[in-house]
Homo-oligomer: A and B are copies of this chain.
Amino acid sequence: MQQFVERVNALIEALPYIRDFFGKTIVIKYGGSAMLNEGLKNDFAQDIVLLRYVGMNPVIIHGGGAAITEMLQRLNMKTEFIDGHRVTDKATMEVVEMVLVGQVNKKIVTMINQHGGKAVGLCGKDGVLIKAQKHAWENEEQGASANKDLGFVGSVESINADLVHLLDKAHYIPVISPIGVNSKGETFNINADTAASEIAIALKAEKLVLLSDIAGVVDREDNLFHTLHRQEVQELITKKIITGGMLPKVNCCLKALENSVKKTHIIDGRISHALLLEIFTHEGIGTEIIL
């Protein structure tokens, strides 16, 4: 009985959060451990179904680097990384697409549907959802990647959100592989964080949540920042406290914020139900970045 009382109290404590996010769109980049560990996968699917039932519109953009690497190995295809970007020739691009769309995406869809959701898997080609172009490295990103042709690594030219709105309105949960297409029908591999940020902007989302394998933004002593304003983020970049793989994630958040997304979150996907813990508690478990 005590356990039931606690359950009910928990529901009541969640009420203010449910109320505030009712009818709002939450775009989630799903990747890393949360996508590899069986228990965490299950937890994530439950979280998504719950968000949908309590009135939010969750939209998922997923990664899949590990599965891609594994398949490339099985096919004896070499893969090279420059500055963290996978050099993606046509043959590699085909494997990337096949694995993301035909394997990783469908596993997520099925997991969500097993828990009672109505997930639909899409990639950027469906309804020309993600119009892409070859990624052009800007000056500030100078590095090896700017001097070398990375092949079919793309950036987002435009998002056509019609299909996602149609599905949202009919209570489906879109699960999107970050594959883009250009006007010639060529396929491009797009960074999942970037795709999530652009889709959040196109959907005028309330929140962008990036699941990753770190606690969030931390200082030099590994203390977590719970909340950061844009200003503070820029200082941390200047001071080289935000560096490496965290830098592009933080930039995705800033771009989203500058384009009308209300709040962005970088959270630790290694924690069970990380998504609910971030959304349904005041302090959250990761770093919230706001304007």
Contacts and interface: CB of A to CB of B under 8 A. Distances in A.
Interface of A: 1, 4-16, 18-19, 22, 43, 46-47, 49-50, 53-55, 74-75, 94, 97-103, 105-106, 109-111, 113-116, 118-123, 125-128, 162-163, 166-167, 170, 172, 179, 181, 185, 187, 272-273, 276-277, 280-281, 283, 285
A281 B4 contact: yes
B49 A4 contact: no
Contact of A11 (B103, B276, B285): B276
Contacts of A116: 15-16, 19
Given A7-B13, A7-B14, A53-B55, 19 more contacts: A6-B10, A7-B280, A11-B276, A15-B49, A15-B50, A15-B115, A18-B53, A18-B54, A19-B53, A97-B103, A102-B105, A110-B181, A111-B185, A113-B185, A114-B185, A119-B126, A119-B127, A121-B123, A166-B166
Nearest to A170: B166
Nearest to A175: B126
Contact of A120 (B19, B126, B179, B272): B126
B123 A106 contact: yes
3 residue pairs, one from A and one from B, having the closest CB atoms: A102-B102, A10-B10, A98-B102
A179 to B, nearest CB: 8
B281 A7 contact: yes
Contacts of A277: 4-5, 8
14 contacts: A4-B277, A7-B13, A8-B276, A12-B43, A15-B53, A54-B55, A55-B55, A110-B125, A110-B181, A110-B185, A113-B128, A118-B128, A120-B163, A121-B122
A19 B49 CA distance: 9
